[in-house]
Amino acid sequence: MKIDFNYTFKELDGTAIAERPPEMKQVDGEMKEVTYPPFTLRKACTNVLVMREADGQGRPKELSGKDKVERYELAKKIHNSKGLVDLTVEEVALLKELVGRIYPPITVGQAFEILDPHSANENK
pLDDT value at residue 86: 96
Q: What is the pLDDT, as a whole number, of residue 62?
A: 85
Residue 29 gets which letter from DSSP?
A: T
**Residue ranges making up the domain that contains 21:** 2-122
Burial environment of residue 120 by CB neighbours within 10 A (0 to 12, 13 to 18, 19 or more):
middle
pLDDT band at 123 (very low <50, low <70, confident <90, very high): low
Q: By C-alpha distance, which of 106, 120, 87 is closest to 5?
A: 87
Residues 6 or more apart in contact with residue 110 via CB below 8 angstroms = 7, 9, 10, 41
Q: How many angstroms separate the CA atoms of 119 and 66, rounded?
A: 29
Q: What's the total number of domains in the chain?
A: 1
Check whether 103 has a pLDDT greater than 80.
Answer: yes
pLDDT of 124: 52
**Residue 10 pLDDT > 80:** yes
Tens digit of pLDDT for each residue in 15-64? 999 999 999 999 889 999 989 999 999 999 999 999 987 777 777 788 89
Name the nearest CA neighbour of 91 among 106, 104, 105, 76.
76
Residue 121: band (very low, low, confident or very high) from pLDDT cuts 50, 70, 90:
low
114, pLDDT greater than 70: yes
CB contact set of 50 (below 8 Å; sequence gap of 6+): 71, 72, 75
